Amino acid sequence: MKHFFTIIGGMGTIATESYVRLINHRVKITKDQDYLNYILVNDAEIPDRTAYIKDHSQENFFYALKDDVEKQALLKPDFFVMPCNTAHYFYRDLAALTDVPFLNMMEIAVHTFLEKFPNEEKIGLIATEGSIYDRLYEKQIEKVGRKVEFGGSEIQPMVTDLIYHNIKEKGVVNKELYHQILQKMHDEYGCNVILLGCTELSLAQEKAPDHPYNVIDPQSILADVTIELALKIRNGMDPKEAIAKYLYD
């Protein structure tokens, strides 16, 4: 392949499948050759991200990601994407392993929130316990001058149940539970916009979009950015020039 990007996936596999499905179905095609060129690394054995973030005696997931990135870098992709929010705990360490541009889906999502809802002073955040615990999205949101609303103590158990007990363990989306979480964040905690800080939540949004609430869906946004960049590069733009607008630091 002349131009391709690498997807560091498998966290979890069904959520990665959702991301791939989005880019495949959103790109405009008239023939097979119009689809994007990419390599999918579906590393399903990467240790649980939240487990390590909350307890460093658990297996460190960095080394599996490091191995994936270093091996893929030898193939010289145009850029890396990693459709897992919690894995961005090690984003800077992973990006430092290679000269290949590495998109940060968290930064891209937060800046999309600013662009789409410039008058909103706060955003609701639902995510894995690991992301909440290490303030991954909270830091990004505060960095751009906005506040974060997590909801009450009942919210996180509901979110964890949806992510782990439904999607990760059973491979199904509990539509009613997902909509109930969004409703509570909106009605009880005043969140006009809610950020889906886990790709399993993005999968829930893909499967159950029939609700009235405003969401920022990082995986969906990343899919659109991926298509934009891949097509620009295919049409002759230098990869680093194409990607520069999405590298915020």
Structurally, the chain folds into a number of domains equal to 2
pLDDT of residue 247: 86
My answer on whether 203 and 175 are in the same domain is yes
Tokens of 107: 């930064």
158 and 72 share one domain? no
Q: Are residues 122 and 161 in the same domain?
A: yes
170 is in which domain, residue-wise? 106-217
Whether the Cβ atoms of residue 179 and residue 169 lie closer than 8 Å to each other: no
Q: Is residue 192 domain-shared with residue 146, that is, in the same domain? A: yes
Q: Are residues 210 and 224 in the same domain?
A: no
Cβ(23)–Cβ(3) below 8 Å: no
Quick one: 140 and 237 in the same domain? no
Tell me what pLDDT residue 67 has.
98
Query: Hey, CA dihedral for 148, 154, 155, 160, is it positive or negative?
Result: positive
Task: Please answer whether residues 41 and 8 qualify as being in contact, where contact means their C-beta atoms are separated by less than 8 angstroms.
Answer: yes
Contact 102, 95 (CB under 8 A): yes
pLDDT at 235: 95
Q: Please indicate, yes or no, whether residues 49 and 95 belong to a single structural domain of this protein.
A: yes
Specify the CATH number for the domain of residue 52. 3.40.50.1860
pLDDT at res. 248: 80
Domain shared by 39 and 127, yes or no: no
Same domain membership, residue 209 and residue 183? yes
Same domain, 205 and 229: no
What pLDDT sits at residue 92?
A: 96
Check residue 33 and give its pLDDT: 96
119 and 182 co-located in one domain: yes
Those residues of the chain that have pLDDT short of 50 are none
Say whether both 97 and 110 belong to one domain. no
Q: Could you give the residue numbers annotated as active site?
A: 84, 198
